Amino acid sequence: AQSVTQLDSHVSVSEGTPVLLRCNYSSSYSPSLFWYVQHPNKGLQLLLKYTSAATLVKGINGFEAEFKKSETSFHLTKPSAHMSDAAEYFCVVSGPRGSGNTGKLIFGQGTTLQVKP
Amino acid sequence: DTGVSQNPRHKITKRGQNVTFRCDPISEHNRLYWYRQTLGQGPEFLTYFQNEAQLEKSRLLSDRFSAERPKGSFSTLEIQRTEQGDSAMYLCASSLAWPGGVQPQHFGDGTRLSIL
């Protein structure tokens, strides 16, 4: 079975300071991992995805995530927060890759990012 | 690419009524997914289609729920005899799949269902 645990339900940072949103996953096979962002009353937007051997993944809006198999982690980072980054962030697992991949996504509980001026 | 479109955006209905939601995926996408998101939680998978075939249904999808994708394009999700616990955001997503892989899903803005 697959699962995702987001270690913080709320994270508060000041504008211009780094962002770290933590995610651990559990999977019995090699997973695909994603981070999605959701602004209030909107659908989900893909920030980045891990599906290959490149363990450091760059996404949109300056976000990055590093896949660490030994730690079963996929933490999301950004060097400098903007006010517009305030939203709900979801760490997501899917898989296995290849034939038989239903693409079904399993979401974490979400982390609310607050950005203070 | 006009994105995934969901209608209506909001639906308010009385308990016991039937409701139907529609999802129009990105035109070239052969996969279509439905998820349900309750307040403060991450979305949960309900069901998915490859073209017109419904290939998997979650145990969350009780017999009051039915989904169709009759021509492999748009999809409908119907809830019969609605209950208070059905109040949620219903999200649709689509993607392109091929033997050996599947692209990330693109989500619509959802339909928010409120049961009075």
Closest residue of A to B97, CA-based?
A: A103
Return all residues near B81 (Cβ < 8 A) that are at least 6 apart. Answer: B16, B17, B18, B64
For B56, the closest of A46, A97, A104 (CB atoms) is A104
Q: What is the pLDDT of residues A48-98, one digit of tens each?
A: 999 876 889 999 999 999 999 999 999 999 999 999 999 999 999 986 655
Q: What is the pLDDT of residues A41-60, one digit of tens each?
A: 788 999 999 987 688 999 99
Alpha-carbon span A14 to A29, nearest angstrom: 38
Q: What is the DSSP letter of A5?
A: E
Question: Position of tokens 């309750």?
Answer: B38
pLDDT, residue B105, reads 92
Preceding peptide of B8 cis, ω within 30° = yes
Task: Assess A97–B contact: CB distance below 8 Å, yes or no.
Answer: yes
Query: Of B56, B54, B32, B53, nearest to B108 (Cα)?
Result: B32
Task: Assess B43–A contact: CB distance below 8 Å, yes or no.
Answer: yes
